[in-house]
Structure 1
Amino acid sequence: MKRDFAVIGLGRFGGSICRELSMEGMEVLAIDIDEDKVNEFKNIASHAVIADSTDEATLKDLGIKNIDHVIVAIGDNIQASILTTVVLTDFNIKKITVKAQNDYHEKILNKIGADQVVHPERDMGKRIAHNIISNNILDYLELSDDHSIVEVKVGAKMLGKSLIDLDIRANYGCNVVAIKQGKDINVSPSAEDKLKEDDILIVIGADKDISRFEKHLVVDE
């Protein structure tokens, strides 16, 4: 079902979301106080307007109350981010996602009613750090404060062994939820099948357990 979105703040993060949503055929209202940024998205978003998102009357005139999901991606101006979120919560928007600059900012956003708070720089830093640890770690996604999901390319220590042989759940407390083989994803992998060189394991678990799994089984010596 086609949904309506608004992206407030058209910097690198907000601009990227705006482009992707537009490419997926969604109706996107792009808002920024900077005229140059708005002009950049006039031919990308459904509507692109110059506006001060902290002004309640302005947002009301733009019909923000009719938007299903508003993403507040304001850059360095934490005050503007907080005031915008307050206005949106007063409007009873169905879903509000806000970019946080730091943990203190996140605490405030959660208290004033943001539905989802994201840390794009922090999360990307975690992904890159795990990739630096080993080329076999392809992706890393935080699910909560202490649980994550990781994509792991089968390395030398796992090659030719089965899930029974590795016994990842018993040894490391993690669960292999799927195995990617080329374009195919097997969500019910056979415990007896031998792992091949190009296989990718999708593993979920507590961060401390995933860390042990990475250090002992993923990182090649």
Structure 2
Amino acid sequence: MKRGQYAVIGLGRFGSSLAKELVDLGYEVLGIDRDEEAVDEMSDQLTHAVVADATDEEVIRSLGIRNFDCAVVAIGDDMQASILTAILLKDIGVKTVVAKALSELHGKVLTKVGVDRVIYPERDMGIRVAHQLVSPNLLDIIELSSEYSIAEIAVPKRMSGRTLEDLNPRARYGCSVVAINKKTGIVIAPTAHDVVEEKDVMVIIGTNEQIESFEHEVNRR
């Protein structure tokens, strides 16, 4: 089976971290940056890495990015270059274009020019850290949309030994436990009779309000 191909444009902290993780996951990655030093640092870690101006249509076409499964615009502080690159990628027919936004306004512009998915690394990380600071049992939270999220919540001592039927998060809060990560392994699609123990990790899906309500219950003394 052919491995998926990704192009990551902009090899700063975010772009290089993303590119390396994609390689570790088994995908082919082309890294592009105007900075020769940044490209040199990544050349041994990616499938290919080239010094190029991603706002130059001839250059982009010559690299064959149109045939890639996805192109990620991870350009740092140059908003104009980010937008121009996104427009160019959509124009030449890249299947999926994902772009990093520096601000809400930047994100709106990227959406207007047809980017398939806009991501806000700094904002999203800030949200996740804030939740973790105020909710010690919340291990991670990932926004699925503006309304829905998926969260990992550690089982506190006072809930240990109870079944999901006892906790009944779906009826009481509207959110669902889709998995339980135990020391012995992961229970996918647990039943009402599954028992949670202290330090098990419940994977919860629901609206942001539903998850927040369940968080409060978990953190209650």
Band of TM-score, shorter chain: over 0.9
Equivalent-residue separation in structure 2 for 1:156 and 1:60 (angstroms): 58
Pairing of 1:109-148 with structure 2 (within 5 A): 109-148=110-149
Q: Residue by residue, what CA displacement relative to the aligned partner does 1:141-189 show, whole Å, maximum 9, x if unpaired?
A: 1010011011111013422222111121121111111111125221232
Please say if 1:96 is aligned against 2:97.
Answer: yes
Query: What residue number does 2:219 align with?
Result: 219
Query: What residue number does 1:55 align with?
Result: 56
Query: What residue number does 2:173 align with?
Result: 172
Task: State the identity %.
Answer: 47
Q: Shift of residue 203 of structure 1? A: 0.7
Q: Does 146-155 or 192-201 show the bigger shift?
A: 192-201
Please give the secondary structure, in 2, of the residue aligned with 1:17: helix
Runs of 4+ that moved beyond 4 A: none
Please give the secondary structure, in 1, of the residue aligned with 2:159: coil
Query: What residue number does 2:109 align with?
Result: 108
Q: Residue by residue, what CA displacement relative to the aligned partner does 1:177-210 show, whole Å, maximum 9, x if unpaired?
A: 1111125221232313332113211111111111
Q: Does 81-90 or 40-49 show the bigger shift?
A: 40-49
Please give the secondary structure, in 2, of the residue aligned with 1:208: helix
Q: Residue by residue, what CA displacement relative to the aligned partner does 1:81-121 show, whole Å, maximum 9, x if unpaired?
A: 00000000101101111111111111111111111111111
Q: Does 68-77 or 192-201 show the bigger shift?
A: 192-201
Indicate conservation of the 8 Å contact 1:157/1:220, yes or no: no
Equivalent-residue separation in structure 2 for 1:179 and 1:141 (angstroms): 17
Gaps of 5+ in 2: none
Pairing of 1:127-206 with structure 2 (within 5 A): 127-182=128-183, 184-206=185-207
Please give the secondary structure, in 1, of the residue aligned with 2:31: strand
Aligned residues: 220
RMSD of Structure 2 on Structure 1 (CA): 1.4
Judged with a 3 Å threshold, the aligned counterparts in structure 2 of structure 1 residues 128 and 10 are, in CA distance, closer, same or farther, namely same
- Amino acid in the other structure paired with 2:48: H
Gaps of 5+ in 1: none
TM value normalised by structure 1: 0.94
Equivalent-residue separation in structure 2 for 1:160 and 1:32 (angstroms): 53
Q: Shift of residue 22 of structure 1? A: 2.1
